[in-house]
């Protein structure tokens, strides 16, 4: 009597993959730290360019923090699939019997843990330095959480589409930035509303709704894009 073929359970691979990606990132912390410094530097550029008037800085602070977050997420995005593409493990991932959308989601979540989450943790420093109070910091954290997650998910589609191409980083920004506009608009405006003392629930509802939509659809688009760019 022959034993039936044993396949690994669906979904068991994704945790292995996430563990591996996290370990790789710990061994090479530069990839995590550089976007953070980039974020802090953009935040420092504006007072240098516009003058140190604290009232003006408080007025533009929410928008600047959000733009800086968007740009440093974009900067980090390039590395999402690049290393795996170069050493060939991305191809193995596509050929494996594990569902590719789940694997792509796993990689994106790890990428967010390494880029989005540290950025959220650093963002209060920027907000405080612009002369805004603790209530604004809370709202900033509340908008950056769904916002950066949405940006990682949207960005994973763009990163998957451009992964094999040369000079892909400018192209990647061109693809992802227009798609990311709703997140930027709602993120920055919600914080501005909080500064003015208005009701912010609409913005937060939108950001979480957008995040859920991206969580539902983006992994499939990313998986399709990965297959196309690796054929």
Chain residues in the site for other proteins (CB under 8 A): 157, 161-162, 165, 168, 171, 174-175, 177-179, 181-182, 185-186, 189, 206, 210, 217, 221, 224-225, 228-229, 231
Query: SS3 of 222, please?
Result: helix
**Comparison of 130 and 206: residue with beta carbon closer to other proteins:** 206
Q: How far apart are CB 161 and other proteins at their closest, in Å? A: 5
Contact 40, 122 (CB under 8 A): yes
Q: How far apart are CB 54 and other proteins at their closest, in Å? A: 25
**Comparison of 39 and 192: residue with beta carbon closer to other proteins:** 192
Q: How far apart are CB 206 and other proteins at their closest, in Å? A: 7
Q: How far apart are CB 119 and other proteins at their closest, in Å? A: 22
How long is the chain?
231
- CA dist 129 and 197 (Å) reads 20
Sequence-separated (6 or more) residues with CB below 8 Å from residue 216: none
**Comparison of 40 and 150: residue with beta carbon closer to other proteins:** 150
Q: How far apart are CB 148 and other proteins at their closest, in Å? A: 17
- CA dist 177 and 171 (Å) reads 10
Cα angle 172, 176, 180 (rounded to 5 degrees) comes to 155
**Comparison of 114 and 207: residue with beta carbon closer to other proteins:** 207
- The number of CA neighbours under 13 Å toward the Cβ of 164 is 10
End-to-end CA distance of the chain: 39
**Comparison of 18 and 224: residue with beta carbon closer to other proteins:** 224
């Amino acid at each position: 009597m022959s034993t039936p073929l044993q396949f690994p359970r669906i979904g068991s691979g994704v945790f292995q993959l996430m563990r591996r990606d996290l370990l790789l990132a710990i061994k090479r912390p530069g990839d995590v730290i550089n976007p953070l410094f980039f974020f802090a530097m953009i935040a420092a550029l504006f007072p240098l360019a516009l003058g140190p008037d604290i009232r003006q800085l408080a007025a533009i602070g929410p928008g600047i923090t959000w733009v800086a977050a968007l740009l440093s997420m974009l900067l980090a995005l390039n590395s999402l699939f690049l290393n795996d593409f170069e050493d060939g493990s991305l191809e193995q991932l596509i050929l494996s019997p594990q569902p590719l959308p789940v694997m792509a989601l796993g990689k994106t979540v790890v990428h967010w843990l390494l880029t989005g989450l540290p950025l959220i943790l650093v963002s209060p420093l920027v907000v405080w330095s612009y002369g805004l109070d603790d209530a604004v910091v809370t709202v900033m954290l509340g908008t950056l959480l769904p916002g950066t997650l949405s940006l990682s998910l949207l960005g994973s589609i763009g990163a998957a589409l451009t992964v094999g191409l040369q000079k892909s980083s400018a192209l990647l920004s061109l693809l992802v930035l227009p798609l990311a506009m709703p997140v930027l608009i709602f993120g920055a405006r919600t914080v501005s509303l909080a500064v003015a003392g208005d009701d912010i629930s609409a913005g937060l509802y939108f950001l979480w709704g957008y995040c859920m939509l991206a969580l539902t659809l983006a992994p499939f688009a990313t998986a399709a894009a990965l297959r196309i760019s690796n054929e």
